[in-house]
Amino acid sequence: MTRAFRAAGEANASRARMRSGIEHVFAAQKHRMALFVRTRPGPRR
């Protein structure tokens, strides 16, 4: 792999680790309160 591809892969892995931790917190809140946890609306597709 080239250096650019390796750097991009490491950056993606870092973002994925952070995102999974955040998603885990929201899932725990949702499960604990048995409610729909509202977040900022994203773009509609």
pLDDT at residue 39, as a whole number: 65
Examine residue 9 and state whether it is found in any structural domain, yes or no: yes
Examine residue 45 and state whether it is found in any structural domain, yes or no: no
| Unique residue bearing structure tokens 């899932």 | 27
pLDDT at residue 27, as a whole number: 83
pLDDT at residue 14, as a whole number: 93
pTM across the whole model = 0.50
Alpha carbon distance 30, 17 (integer Å): 20
Examine residue 29 and state whether it is found in any structural domain, yes or no: yes
Q: Is 11 exposed, middle or buried (0-12, 13-18, 19+ CB in 10 A)?
A: exposed
pLDDT at residue 45, as a whole number: 59
Show the domain range for 22.
1-35
Examine residue 25 and state whether it is found in any structural domain, yes or no: yes
Contact assessment for residue 30 and residue 23, using Cβ atoms and an 8 Å cutoff? no
pLDDT in tens, 1-45: 688 899 999 999 999 999 888 888 888 877 777 666 566 666 665
Examine residue 3 and state whether it is found in any structural domain, yes or no: yes
Alpha carbon distance 36, 26 (integer Å): 10
Total domains, the chain: 1
